[in-house]
Amino acid sequence: MSATLPQVVPGADLPDAVTIYEVGPRDGLQNESTVVPTAVKADFVRRLVAAGLGTVETTSFVSPRWVPQLADAEDLLTELGDEGLGHRRPVLVPNERGLDRAMEHGVGAIAIFGSATETFAQRNLGRSLAESVQMFAPVVRRALDSDLWVRAYVSMCFGDPWEGPVPVTQVADACESLMELGAHQLSLGDTIGTGTTGHVEALLLELERRGIGADVIGVHFHDTYGQALANTLTALRAGVRVVDASTGGLGGCPYARSATGNLATEDLVWALDGLGIRTGVDLGALVETSVWMAKQLGRPAPSRVVKALSGG
Amino acid sequence: MSATLPQVVPGADLPDAVTIYEVGPRDGLQNESTVVPTAVKADFVRRLVAAGLGTVETTSFVSPRWVPQLADAEDLLTELGDEGLGHRRPVLVPNERGLDRAMEHGVGAIAIFGSATETFAQRNLGRSLAESVQMFAPVVRRALDSDLWVRAYVSMCFGDPWEGPVPVTQVADACESLMELGAHQLSLGDTIGTGTTGHVEALLLELERRGIGADVIGVHFHDTYGQALANTLTALRAGVRVVDASTGGLGGCPYARSATGNLATEDLVWALDGLGIRTGVDLGALVETSVWMAKQLGRPAPSRVVKALSGG
């Protein structure tokens, strides 16, 4: 096999460069059944950065009761030292208590986890949508006061397992609320992976109408129905420049009926490399990292590129 | 879960309807290690047609020495009777002897299997590219004389496992040769799945320049590197209206290092249903068929939609 890298052929209506927002250590590992030792997590983050992933979400300060996989958030930040700090190493914080813990370790960026639907807000956050925004308000305000960078996830932007398809106007309402708090960036999540490309275009158009431009938007697609990469490329054509992905395709949504998880970073990099779009990522080093992490987890990486290039 | 069907939201630059050219019984089964009994194959074809797949490639008259999985081509056509005939039930024929056998059974359509590269022609057909075209010439001429519909596959249109990336001009040369023989339709195959969306646009543009319009083109993507659906939607935006897919994602390429096979028909239908593009396919019936076939093969269907909707 000589064809281990894609042929570079630029496409129409696409950018020169894309920022990959790597969620493997947080969104990936929190949905794996295996609990990974802290030292391995630190090594994972370091390998990802070494492979060229500039932005890596490292961990979560959600209660260990809910996410035991990431119960070692403090220890991991201690282990990472300076490598876990700065605007490009966000950690997830659920509330003010989580923010306190994160700031004690000097983090430079946080992510909050909002919802586009009432049912998911109730089930995931234990309160209504309006109440969840109230809960996030002091978190964001205090983070901004301390010059932290703030990202707001919006879950269930396309389909919701209890409510079905989610109207774009409802999603845009949720996005507006979170941006009004002062978030620097939104991440539009297709948490159960049901969205298709026209739906992506429609949501981005609705947001643009309301003054929320593509420059503050990241997209976060799950591959449960095989749509993640197609949806991502559609978002890029619509002006989005930040894409969430999980190395190896780690993770998944505990509320979806399939184990299929996040868009695999390698499958995304293959597509972008082929289009000549700069990401800074070394695909070979990334595949090596996935193969290494798959050994730690005791299961093969779901990424198709990893399977193809590692002979798995 | 109420979200078992995608929300319908039309997208930009896409057609109202697409013809799915189902290759599961041929390209799918010929690459599975399990040999399926003839009665099961016939049932498979009938279920696919009942699920709304109007065009189904049923079998191959390649030597049983090369493809033992489809050694029962004659028995299958006998078993299918009228259901295996007509312009929308093509069979693969490698040469004049294959054509003779197919015509004895009254088939109404054939597919020949060309190559875009010298190495693959040598390895798969045992002759040079030029010699392979000479071999196909009388096959196509005699088929046309008998009012058969003729499709020409073109393998290795993007990457070749021995030659690496394949120049679009070289692919277009191969396409021209096959169209000059009189084929009604080309199927552009990304046999090892390395192609990306800009490459797809570039090849379709080169073909258009040479007078080979999108109206005579089908696309055939393998998902080895996770690019199949994104590439397919790109081809649709460029005017293509015929898409090859394999129910359940059956099959693969014996020359690629991964078991990942054809674009899964269900993942394609999910994308097209979501875009409001008519295919005539009943997704629920198709998923049932994949679950049934997976039991026959003793392994789960690779399709992500099948996994999600069947709880697998």
Which pLDDT does position B109 carry in this prediction? 98
Instruction: Give the residue from chain A lying closest to B5, CA to CA.
Output: A194
Which pLDDT does position A3 carry in this prediction? 44
Contacts of residue A202 in chain B, CB cutoff 8 Å?
9
Which of residues 40 through 99 in chain A touch B, CB cutoff 8 A?
none
| C-alpha to C-alpha distances, A119 to A161, A254, B159, nearest whole angstrom | 9, 15, 47
Instruction: Give the residue from chain A lying closest to B312, CA to CA.
Output: A258
Q: Does the pLDDT at position B266 exceed 70?
A: yes
Q: Contact A235/A12 with Cβ under 8 angstroms?
A: no
Q: Contact A267/B225 with Cβ under 8 angstroms?
A: yes
Which pLDDT does position B257 carry in this prediction? 45
Which pLDDT does position B260 carry in this prediction? 66
From the list A205, A137, A160, A255, the residue with the least C-alpha distance to B4 is A160
Which pLDDT does position A4 carry in this prediction? 65
Burial bucket for residue B33 (CB in 10 Å: 0-12, 13-18, 19+): exposed
Angle between helices A38-50 and A73-80 (to 10 degrees): 50
From the list A213, A207, A84, A100, the residue with the least C-alpha distance to A157 is A207
Q: Is B10 on the interface with A (CB under 8 A)?
A: yes
Which of residues 207 through 226 in chain A touch B, CB cutoff 8 A?
223-226
The average pLDDT across B21-34 equals 93
Sign of CA dihedral A156, A162, A164, A166: negative
Contacts of residue A199 in chain B, CB cutoff 8 Å?
6-7, 9, 274
Pairwise CA distance, residues B159 & B301, whole Å: 26
Question: What residue ranges define each of the domains in chain A, with the CATH number in brackets?
Answer: 19-310 (3.20.20.70)
Which of A199-208, A254-263, B73-82, B108-117 is the least confident region? A254-263
pLDDT band for position B311 (cuts 50, 70, 90): confident
Which pLDDT does position B70 carry in this prediction? 96
Which pLDDT does position B1 carry in this prediction? 39
In chain A, which residues have pLDDT < 50?
1-3, 254-259
The average pLDDT across B59-66 equals 93
Q: Is B267 on the interface with A (CB under 8 A)?
A: yes
A157 is an active site residue: no
Q: Contact B23/B265 with Cβ under 8 angstroms?
A: no
The average pLDDT across B188-197 equals 96
Which pLDDT does position A250 carry in this prediction? 92
- Pick the catalytic residue: B228, B253, B263, B294? B253
Q: Can you say how many angstroms the Cα of residue B76 is from the centroid of all Cα atoms in its chain?
A: 19
CB-based contacts of A98: which residues, under 8 Å, 6+ apart? A61, A62, A92, A139
| C-alpha to C-alpha distances, A138 to A109, A135, A288, B220, nearest whole angstrom | 15, 7, 41, 53
Q: Does the pLDDT at position B259 exceed 70?
A: no
Query: What is the pLDDT of chain B when averaged over all its residues?
Result: 94
Q: Contact B197/B158 with Cβ under 8 angstroms?
A: no
Which pLDDT does position B6 carry in this prediction? 87
Measured in angstroms, the CA of B141 and the nearest CA of chain A are apart by 36
Residue with tokens 């697998």: B312
Which pLDDT does position A299 carry in this prediction? 86
